[in-house]
Amino acid sequence: MMKALLSKTVGGPDSLVLADRPVPVPGKGELLVRVLACAINYPDVLIIEDKYQLKPERPFAPGSEICGEVAGVGEGVEGWTPGDRVIAVTGYGGLAEYMLLPAAKAFALPPDRDPVQGAALLMTYGTTIHALADRGALQKGETLLVLGAAGGVGLAAVEIGKALGARVVAAISSPEKAQAARDAGADETLIYGRAPFDKAASKQLAQAFKDAVGPDGAHVIYDPVGGDYCDPALRAIAWEGRYLVVGFPAGIPHLPLNLTLLKSCDVRGVFWGGFAARFPDRNRAHVAQLFRWWQDGKINPRIDRTWPLAEAGEAISWLADRRAVGKVVVEVA
């Protein structure tokens, strides 16, 4: 038997229950993975409340991103042996001592890398390299404005933006988070207030964005926040700039489309999961680049806090309350 933190009913993090479950048996094309660490991401907040597009049959364990150790190999699987370390985006199931993983979704963790950091790599950095390189076409010397720059994807955007040669302006909500963004390489930081904003506050924030990015505007805006921050940021975009829609923890914004006409700019959605499913070879090339940058010290997943499996509901709450500076990780083994 194994321990798993289960969602048995629709609810928040306090509805999760630690329970015993049978250890699963790998089928064709599958790996049985002993979970070492599970990173918490915003979909984990939504999935237990039935607000995410993926709705697993209950009971299920949330946990969308893991680092683990291969414990069993199913029929037809090649290239993996028990004891190999693996990282993967799982969708759900990571808050358990063991889980099944399609071998095609697994990446080998380099031997000298920390498994807690490994658990925190793929979703944030995979999303961000796809966003900035593929969707944003970020070029050396351009200005990148990053909203929510002290969260997991925000810090990844700061680091990858610098690795691609951009000038990076990091927008965050506190001096502590500003320091984290500077530590990640941000050239400029801007501290904004908490939404909602009235018309005057929105106008003031737009001017602050314009002042921070400079007279030419931001060539690429990376927005994993949404809500009332979108309109002021869009007003600071450059001519033919690219606005990247990454997430909506502050709410789904309503874009003033007249601004897209006046700036001749693009609004581009970023759905990394769909990209990885449609173009697995391109995604694997991105992950290989991430490993090289990690080895060279150009990226370094920042871990805000860790929790044990029994207290993983607190980790989900910590992320939902937007208190994390970097990634939140549950140490399972």
**pLDDT band at residue 264, thresholds of 50, 70 and 90?**
very high
- State what percent of residues in the chain have pLDDT above 70: 100
Q: What is the mean pLDDT of residues 95-114?
A: 96
pLDDT in tens, 209-237: 999 999 999 999 999 999 999 999 999 99
Q: What is the mean pLDDT of residues 239-256?
A: 93
CB count, 10 Å around CB of 245?
Answer: 21
Residue 322 has pLDDT above 90, yes or no: no
Q: What is the mean pLDDT of residues 39-60?
A: 94
Q: Compute the mean pLDDT over every residue in the chain, rounded to the nearest whole number.
A: 96
DSSP-derived secondary structure letter, 96: B
At which residue do the structure tokens 């808050």 appear?
95
**pLDDT band at residue 323, thresholds of 50, 70 and 90?**
confident
Q: What span, in angstroms and rounded, lies between the C-alpha atoms of 169 and 144?
A: 6
Residue 324 has pLDDT above 90, yes or no: no
Instruction: Quote the pLDDT of residue 13.
Output: 96
Spell out the domains of the chain, with CATH numbers in brackets.
2-121+301-331 (3.90.180.10), 124-273 (3.40.50.720)
Instruction: Quote the pLDDT of residue 107.
Output: 97
Instruction: Quote the pLDDT of residue 328.
Output: 95
Q: What span, in angstroms and rounded, lies between the C-alpha atoms of 158 and 240?
A: 21
| Pairing verdict, β 85-89 and 107-108 | antiparallel
**pLDDT band at residue 185, thresholds of 50, 70 and 90?**
very high
At which residue do the structure tokens 């790998």 appear?
26
End-to-end CA distance of the chain: 14
pLDDT in tens, 17-33: 999 999 999 999 999 99
Full-model pTM: 0.93
Q: How far is CA 243 from the centre of its chain?
A: 18
Nearest Cα residue to 224 out of 328, 129, 148: 148
| Pairing verdict, β 30-40 and 98-102 | antiparallel
CB count, 10 Å around CB of 146?
Answer: 38
